[in-house]
Structure 1
Amino acid sequence: METMRWQDDCLVLLDQTLLPGEVRYIQCRDVDTVCAAIRRLAVRGAPAIGAAAAYGLALGARSLDCADSQSFLSRVREIADRLAATRPTAVNLHWALRRLLDKMTAALPATPQQLKELLLAEARAIYDEDYRANQAMGRHGAELLPEQAGVLTHCNAGALATAGFGTALGVIRAAHQQGKKIHVYADETRPLLQGARLTTWELLQEGIPVTLLTDNMAGYLMALGKVDAVIVGADRITRNGDVANKIGTYSVAVLAREHGIPFYVAAPLSTIDLSLASGQEIPIEQRAPEEVTCIGGVRVAPAGVEVWNPAFDVTPARLVTAIITERGVYRPPYTETLPALFAQDC
């Protein structure tokens, strides 16, 4: 199932808010539609958001009619600011926009038309690179899993959250393809149920054994010896190895440490933010109270109740056994191993 594609000067996005009940695609012909899709989680998952924002910037740029390259650059930066404001925590979105702006600035004094083509080509490159990175992550991460294993995952870090194949689910998918007997335990992931709606749906499509459980069942499952490893994705990883991921991830990591279970994070290099020293500096998105007070449009809490609804939490580096990237598996001390990853490009 494609999460997105560029077709006939239009960004086509799978509306993930309707899954698993309905498969419907959104035709994004202007940047406002892309911003709305990202904001309401029609497209979600850090790598997918990055790719969608890149295509969104290219789409917005194509609508501009500027006489010179400097005015064009100024207008494109305004569009990038609008896209960047949609979701603050997932660094891939900001990384992708910055990459396109840097590419465009380096190409000056190219004409506006040349810059439009350059932006689209770079957006396509980000999409293609993410798919290849996910496959590489899958190969590296699969080596960490025994021949027979129960694997717990939280939220959805599969093909739906990326350009394809997936990060955390990419590791599971690769292990399954290698013939390993993997049984996945998927947390439902309140309040928006990405685990129940998306992760189980993906795995069932591929015939990978999966059992759904509510978030508060994970500890007992571990105590019964059913879980051999935990694998999650990430929306931002700081220099010291702290990990921002979907709310509830921190609780799973604490439980894994208590039960002596390895806790792995699978994420591409674009998710690692060396500009932040620790997770305390990560901006955490706060979302609408209706996501908590209602399920499927049906109110389950009394009107007027106060709601706290952070979309993400931060798992301290001390609870992270290893970080799986497209370049391999990296372990503590992350203050040394993560910067070394990027030093390879120097």
Structure 2
Amino acid sequence: MSAVQSPLFEPVLWEGDGFRVLDEILIPQRLEYITVTEVSQALAAVRDMKTRAYGQVLTFLYTAALVAQQYKGKEVEPLRQRMAQLTQQFCDVRPTFDFRGLGCFVDEWFNEIRRDGKVGETIARRAREFGAEITRGRRARAKRTATLLPNPASVMTHCNVSGELVAVAKYCKELGKKFSVIATETRPYLQGARLTAWELAQAGVPVSLIPDCAVAQVMAKGVVDAVIVGADRSAQNGDIINKVGTYPLALMAKEYGVPFYALVQDPRSLVTGDDVPIEERSAAELLFFEGEPLIASGVERIAARYPAFDMTPAALITHLIGFDDVYTPETFSHKFRGEAAAAKITAKQGGKYLLIYGVPPKNQYSFLMSALRAEQCESFLVPEMRPQLCGAQVVARQLVERNAPTTLISDNIMGTLFAHREIRKLCLFSQSVTEAGPTGLCGSLLAVQLARLHGVPIELFNGDAPNDSSRDRDVSTFMGKQICPEGVAVRAVEVEVVPWALFKN
């Protein structure tokens, strides 16, 4: 493998009177940087998902440095107030991310200012130094992660941890360990395909791509040695907040005996994951792909849910890997809280859904309408059902044609809606029935496991075959458009057998 650092490892670069932000939306087509000389440009980059994860951290710090550098006054308080305002501006554009915690660091730096009047210069210097300090900490964290892994290590990951897996691969090589990655595509922005798979392939690390709904299928085969994810936030009790889809991944890791590692930062004042507001992004980000609607007609009549993050309780995490040490949830809690409360995922007052997984025969839709009323549900909940998009392009379309209330989600959102008790029943449509169990589309096993683990009833039906006219046969394309970067393997998706034992109470 190449020893070259991923450009995502340090995606924001300070340059004189401003800084440059790597536009992650354009990867892997091209590497292009956005020049930032004004606060509004930085806020737009964060709001529009052009930068995320570690990029958001550096963007905030360097924006603070930019504002401080432009401040020529000698009084502390005006700049201090401007930094508090800046922190709030960043919180407003991405409410789940811990910009307030970063703002607390900035506020503390004002206590270091001497009476020589160099207020702006001091804050600007500290902001840049802190960015460099975190970058060094991330290298140490990657090395620490490599020491935890077995040899060989086949690692599953979700979303993107800003170049850190490439660093883990480098340290594994130094330790003589074989390292490979199975990456989820991570809908709807496809960060797993566009960023993680791309950067690993560029570095010569063996990497394969799977749809989000295949995590249970792949883990059940026993081919995953560990799961590694990032964390947008961590809590004092060891909970983490990360890209939506992390929670079901952790549940499946627990179910199949796979160690689950989270790369975290200090929690500061956050007590439990329940205390974090989860950002719900625009339905259009899910319903359209590169300007094209997922459903050819009737997309305006479909609702969609896109909570951008979910919460993974500490009980599902094997180790939290910080900048300074490796923790169990217990030792993490002891360090930061003493006796931190265990998180309970709070049931939200959201919609009550009837979840459909698989393809119902056309003569079943009238029955489903009756079932929706009988269960007193507000809407059908339909996952996309990758890779062929059977949910979006077959099931949702059939429901809309019958004027049925329909809500579309990406496959990785099922877990958080189960956790929040928003799903009343799973209607599973199988393709056949065998002695081992019913067979179904990729994701059937995940849907059943999630329903079982959350105490949601499952009703089994005979279903139709998947959509033969789909433009997508595997995860290499989305709506017929290539999403799998060069050098990335596509893991074959199989028809799933759901063991009968999972249907027992």
1:51 and 2:48 equivalent? no
Worse-superposed segment, 175-184 or 31-40? 175-184
Give the counterpart of 2:318 among 302, 318, 321.
321
1:295 and 2:292 equivalent? no
RCO higher in 1 or 2 (8 Å CA, sep ≥ 6)? Answer: 1
The aligned counterpart of 2:104 is 98
C-alpha separation between the residues in 1 aligned to 2:166 and 2:30?
22
SS of the residue 1:226 aligns to? coil
- Assess if the C-alpha contact under 8 Å between 2:160 and 2:192 holds in 1: yes
Change (3 A) 1:109 1:35: farther
The aligned counterpart of 1:156 is 160
Structure 1 residue ranges, 4+ long, deviating more than 6 angstroms after superposition: none
1:67 Cα offset (Å): 6.8
Matches within 5 A, 1:178-257: 178-257=175-254
Change (3 A) 1:325 1:206: same
Cα RMSD (Å): 1.9
Matches within 5 A, 1:1-346: 1=7, 2-45=10-53, 47-64=54-71, 66=73, 68-91=75-98, 93-107=99-113, 109=115, 111=117, 114-159=118-163, 166=164, 170-269=167-266, 272-273=267-268, 275-301=269-295, 302-333=299-330, 334-339=332-337
How many residues end up aligned between the 2 structures?
326
C-alpha separation between the residues in 2 aligned to 1:105 and 1:81?
21
C-alpha separation between the residues in 1 aligned to 2:55 and 2:130?
10
Change (3 A) 1:258 1:73: closer
SS of the residue 1:303 aligns to? helix
Residue by residue over 1:184-237, the C-alpha shift from the partner in whole angstroms, topping out at 9 and shown as x without a partner, is 000001111110100011101110000011101111111111101001000111
Change (3 A) 1:25 1:227: same
Worse-superposed segment, 188-197 or 115-124? 115-124
C-alpha separation between the residues in 2 aligned to 1:119 and 1:40?
27
Change (3 A) 1:75 1:266: closer
Residue by residue over 1:317-341, the C-alpha shift from the partner in whole angstroms, topping out at 9 and shown as x without a partner, is 110011011222111324214447x
C-alpha separation between the residues in 1 aligned to 2:169 and 2:263?
11
1:294 Cα offset (Å): 1.1
Change (3 A) 1:176 1:189: farther
C-alpha separation between the residues in 2 aligned to 1:336 and 1:120?
34
The alignment's TM-score, normalised by the length of structure 1, stands at: 0.88
1:295 Cα offset (Å): 1.6
Change (3 A) 1:104 1:225: same
C-alpha separation between the residues in 2 aligned to 1:265 and 1:318?
12
> Structure 2: where are the runs of 5+ without partners?
1-6, 339-505
- Assess if the C-alpha contact under 8 Å between 1:330 and 1:337 holds in 2: no
The percent identity for this pair of structures is 35
The aligned counterpart of 1:344 is none
- Assess if the C-alpha contact under 8 Å between 2:139 and 2:167 holds in 1: yes
- Assess if the C-alpha contact under 8 Å between 2:227 and 2:258 holds in 1: yes
- Assess if the C-alpha contact under 8 Å between 1:39 and 1:87 holds in 2: yes
The aligned counterpart of 1:162 is none
SS of the residue 1:183 aligns to? strand
> Structure 1: where are the runs of 5+ without partners?
160-165, 341-346
- Assess if the C-alpha contact under 8 Å between 2:65 and 2:128 holds in 1: no
- Assess if the C-alpha contact under 8 Å between 1:158 and 1:202 holds in 2: no
1:9 Cα offset (Å): 0.4
Higher Rg:
2
Change (3 A) 1:85 1:320: same
Equivalent residue letter for 1:300: L
C-alpha separation between the residues in 2 aligned to 1:170 and 1:276?
28
